Amino acid sequence: MAYTLATELKIGKEQLAITIAHGTLGSHLGVAYWDELEKPRIMHLGWHKNLRVEDYPHPQMNWLCSVLNLSALASMQAVALISSMAEKYGNQATAASLDYGINLMAGHGAIKSDGVYEPGPDCDGFTCASIIAEIFAQIALPIVDLSTWPSTEKNKIWGRAIVCLLRALGATSEHVEKVESNVSGLRLRPEEFAAAAEVSSTSWPAPYDDVQKRADEIGGQIIKDCGPAHEPGEHYRHCVVTYRDDLARLEGKVNYKDATDAPEEATGDASSIAQDRPLGTVGEADAI
């Protein structure tokens, strides 16, 4: 099913949908479902220790949405796992909450069947995309074949930007060092998972090459349909500007020092963090 603005798409009580919007370093992924109170919700990993559970459609964040073509059993299993995670960790910034990390392969198995987050020694956490991929892998329905994902220089730049953001927003030095050691160039982009989720389930898990064209189209649709991306807050603006500058150098474009000069495809979403907010917290629309 094609991606449509969430404000224009109602999801059924037995349905699940993939949601995608602007993110700080590009795009941002979530999953929409009906919770136990029979309310449509979006769950997404907003940032480190910040698993968010919010209203669908969101009043302040313009999501695109596509309903997954799942069997009733698969939908039931996925909703049960998502609801369990939401109950345990949703909107709760505790030591046990989910980490934000970039080791794409080491997170497999870190989410247990009851929704408990139990990372192994090599796991540094998840991104907004890899956590959604792991949820479906946990119910034996892998949507992407991560073994086909290549390492790229562009994704190494992204990894260094994540390390910068973790430092700027107050993650522990131990966690920052662990994530920094995993900058390898492997990354599942939100739009890649969004593209894979659209194809027939008979084609799952989708390999890397099969989703790239559609992923780029979805990235363009976010820019077109979701309105302008917010500029980054002052606490971490330098991380975003450096990221965009490094991408520009890699792609042979003119370097720039101001975020407003960034090429369109490099822009991301992050609203300003309030000056009186403690460092290490993330605002309502600051989804990474």
Task: Count the neighbouring beta carbons within 10 Å of the beta carbon of residue 279.
Answer: 10
Whether 274 shows a pLDDT value over 90: the answer reads no
Contact of 30 with 116, CB cutoff 8 Å: no
Whether 257 shows a pLDDT value over 60: the answer reads no
> Residue 43 forms beta bridges with which residues?
31, 53
Whether 269 shows a pLDDT value over 50: the answer reads no
Whether 256 shows a pLDDT value over 50: the answer reads no
What's the pLDDT score for residue 84? Answer: 97
User: If you write DSSP's letter for every residue of 11-54 in order, what string do you get?
Assistant: --TT--EEEEEEETTEEEEEEEEE-TTS-EEEEEEEETTEEEEE
Whether 39 shows a pLDDT value over 60: the answer reads yes
Percentage of the chain with pLDDT > 70? 89
Cα 43 off chain centre by: 10
Alpha carbon distance 280, 172 (integer Å):
10
* Cβ-based neighbours of 1, under 8 Å, separated by 6 or more: 66, 67, 69, 198
The mean pLDDT of 235-260, rounded to a whole number, is 81
Whether 255 shows a pLDDT value over 90: the answer reads no
What's the pLDDT score for residue 60? Answer: 85
Alpha carbon distance 167, 25 (integer Å):
16
Residue type, 142: P
pLDDT, tens digit, for every residue of 48-67?
Answer: 999 999 999 988 889 999 99
Whether 263 shows a pLDDT value over 80: the answer reads no
What's the pLDDT score for residue 213? Answer: 98
Q: Which residue has the higher pLDDT, 67 or 266?
A: 67
What's the pLDDT score for residue 59? Answer: 86
Contact of 106 with 122, CB cutoff 8 Å: yes
- Alpha-carbon dihedral of residues 12, 14, 20, 21, nearest 10 degrees? 50
Alpha carbon distance 90, 125 (integer Å):
16
pLDDT band at 254 (very low <50, low <70, confident <90, very high): low
Nearest in space to 6 (alpha carbons), one of 24, 19, 22:
19
Whether 221 shows a pLDDT value over 50: the answer reads yes
Residue type, 252: G
Alpha carbon distance 82, 56 (integer Å):
15
pLDDT band at 275 (very low <50, low <70, confident <90, very high): very low
pLDDT band at 288 (very low <50, low <70, confident <90, very high): confident
DSSP for residue 206? B
Enclosing H/E stretch for 104: none
Percentage of the chain with pLDDT > 90? 82
The mean pLDDT of 109-135, rounded to a whole number, is 97
What's the pLDDT score for residue 55? Answer: 96
pLDDT, tens digit, for every residue of 170-194?
Answer: 999 999 999 999 999 999 999 999 9
The mean pLDDT of 249-255, rounded to a whole number, is 78
Whether 276 shows a pLDDT value over 50: the answer reads no
